[in-house]
Amino acid sequence: MTRITRFARPWALILLAILAPAIATAAPFAAYVMDARTGKPIYAQNADTKLHPASLTKMMTLYLAFAAIERGQVRLDSKFLISSNAAAEPPSKLGLRAGQRIELRYLIRAAAIKSANDAATAIGEGIAGSEDAFAAQMTATARALGMRNTNFRNANGLTQQGHYSTAQDMTILGRRLFYDFPQYYSLFSRRSADAGIAQVSSTNKRFLDEYPGADGIKTGYTRAAGFNLTASAQRGRKRIVASVFGGTSTAQRNQVMAQLLDAGFGKVPSNVREIRPEPPQLLAQKVVRKAQVEPTPAATEPRTLTLASSAPPQRTRRVVKVAPEPSAPVAVAAPGQIVNALREAATPTAAPASGGLTLASSARPRLRPAARGDAVDQAVRMAVAQDDEAAAAPVQTASLAAPVLAASSRPAPAPRSRDIASQPADSVQTASADAAPATTAGSDDLSLAISQAPKRRSETVILAAMGEGDIADPEAVEIVSRAPSGGRQWGVNLGLYRSQAEADNLLLQLALQGGAALEGGRRHVANTNRGFEATFQGLTRASAQLVCDRAAARQEPCTVVGP
């Protein structure tokens, strides 16, 4: 009993501190405390009750803005057009005017630090096109992150029917902001920032200053919601995230939050295996369009195709058909007889004397079959009248080709040298078709016969030709590479310390004092043999030098570390 009483006593004191002031307000109270390292709950009261989240809504607005930047949809320097709807939002507001264009970085600072309603609405309209479309994306993302009892209707958190969330869901969202976008998380611990058209101050400045280790996240207030807060704090290796709904005032809300965080730090162990949340499944929406085509009965009807077996193709034989005379019977001659008959039919008769000039090196062209019809008919009749034994004798391929090759004359090549081409016309001999063998007399004068074999082509590939006179060795080219992170390879070293808690506290104090110089930086404590080394990484060279200059003015150790 003693152990149970000792365990329940701090929670009972917290409950009494909560319920006493909460009677005077109409907004119900809810709280949820979580170990940020594991995501396991530590304390819950009305954690699943659907309540008005007020400006805690802007946590999801900023989550989607960070996601849009990371996937390349927008950039920090993208200029958003301010609509009349955004400009007309009630306070708290930045003071944007309709038709004005302002960079996204300033809208994010105004929404996160000042909790400006007009800036939050402008972010939603600039990313999704309208606030309703952006609210739908917010709800879908909430479902993907495990926020089961949350529904969004706007980007700023003003009271609206159907716009609700729970203490547990907002604690889940606060943890996801820390793990999913650590490069932007330091924004929630800044006390002030330049929002482009004005310098804005944090609505959470009092709690950040009063509670050691606090580094975020977001406040919220409306009459219907009361005073809400989602906070995160770190002590040594422990990190706690908690949410409070329905506070009666800023001071009472901060006091309750401090008590919840203290109790959480006292309950969780120092050494625990960190369980990082899985990457979200709905950072970018994919639209898949399917063509809707009504199927026809012929297309849906099952059909079976069968290929019938076919016989292999037979080798065709070339048959020469000769049109017989009307009174003569049709007969098929042997191949040898056909060749002899065609050779005899193709033999030209004596050409009549001609007074013109003919080329001695060209053969007489063969006449078409229709030009010597009588000779063909005579050859066919002679072939049919041959003996049957000769027709039945086997014909070899060589016997078919030999007579043709023996009787054919080699065509004389055309003159290719300039000497032959330049001879006068009267020197060309005149000959008939019977003088074909004499055409080879001029074959020794061909230019191709005495030309040398071409040289083998070089395998060298010439990529680029130099200009005239450019025979000197090219100058060495210096290749300069740029860091992919845009120069954020610098950091600051704050020295060695005896414990990790001491190093963490020093880094946290520096983060709170560094302001814009440490924006985008990462705190890191390295456990070395000489002690715990505290460093700030991911800075530009100018930012690192500025941080060390400020530390030197306070007589604190600081060293700039280069890449």
Q: What CATH number does residue 538 fall under?
A: 3.30.70.1070
DSSP state letters, 326-344? TTSPP----HHHHHHHHHH
In this prediction, residue 363 carries a pLDDT of 61
477 belongs to a structural domain: no
Q: Measuring CA to CA, which residue among 451, 509, 516 is closest to residue 209?
A: 509
Q: Do the domain assignments include residue 383?
A: no
Q: Cα dihedral sign for 255, 259, 262, 264?
A: negative
Asked whether residue 450 is domain-assigned, the answer is no
Q: What is the pLDDT of residue 239?
A: 96
Q: Is residue 291 part of a domain?
A: no
Please say which residue of 238, 267, 296 terminates a domain.
267
Specify if 432 maps to a domain: no
3-state secondary structure of 548: helix
Structure tokens at 66: 């960070």
DSSP summary character for residue 68: H
CATH number at residue 54: 3.40.710.10
Residues spanned by the domain of 509: 490-561
- Tell me if 494 sits within 8 A of 557, measured CB to CB: yes
Q: In angstroms, what CA-CA distances link 426 with 349, 359, 423, 438, 457?
A: 27, 11, 8, 18, 44
At 382, list the tokens: 């002679």
Closest C-alpha among 60, 62, 35 to residue 184 = 62
The confidence score (pLDDT) of residue 199 equals: 94
Digits of tens for pLDDT over the chain (563 positions)? 444 445 555 555 555 555 544 444 457 999 999 999 999 999 999 999 999 999 999 999 999 999 999 999 999 999 999 999 999 999 999 999 999 999 999 999 999 999 999 999 999 999 999 999 999 999 999 999 999 999 999 999 999 999 999 999 999 999 999 999 999 999 999 999 999 999 999 999 999 999 999 998 999 999 999 999 999 999 999 999 999 999 999 999 999 999 999 999 999 999 999 999 987 765 444 444 454 545 555 555 555 555 556 666 666 555 545 445 444 454 555 555 665 665 665 555 544 444 445 445 556 666 555 445 555 566 656 655 654 445 455 444 444 555 555 555 566 665 554 444 445 444 444 433 444 444 444 444 444 555 666 666 655 555 444 444 344 454 554 444 444 445 678 888 988 888 888 888 888 777 777 677 787 788 888 888 888 999 988 888 888 888 888 888 888 888 888 87
pTM, 2 dp: 0.51
Q: Residue 491 carries which DSSP code?
A: E
Domain count, the chain: 2
The pLDDT value recorded for residue 551 is 83
**Assigned domain for 254 exists:** yes
Is 431 within a domain? no
Q: What is the pLDDT of residues 131-146, one digit of tens each?
A: 999 999 999 999 999 9
**CA-closest candidate to residue 80, choices 54, 104, 55, 98:** 104
Return all residues near 110 (Cβ < 8 A) that are at least 6 apart.
94, 116, 119, 195, 196, 200
Q: What single DSSP character describes residue 385?
A: T
Question: Which residues carry out catalysis?
Answer: 55, 58, 115
Q: How many residues are present in the chain? A: 563
What does the angle CA 263 – CA 266 – CA 267 come to, to the nearest 5 degrees?
Answer: 90
Contact yes or no for 87/98 (Cβ under 8 A): yes
Q: What is the pLDDT of residue 524?
A: 86
Residue 414 domain flag: no
Q: Which of 236, 267, 298 is the last residue of a domain?
A: 267
Task: State which of 267, 285, 310 marks the end of a domain.
Answer: 267
Find, among 182, 217, 181, the residue nearest to 68 by Cα. 181
d(CA 129, CA 13): 48
Strand-pairing partners, residue 219, are 229
Which residue is it, tokens 């993907």?
144
pLDDT at position 155 is 97
pLDDT of residue 335: 55
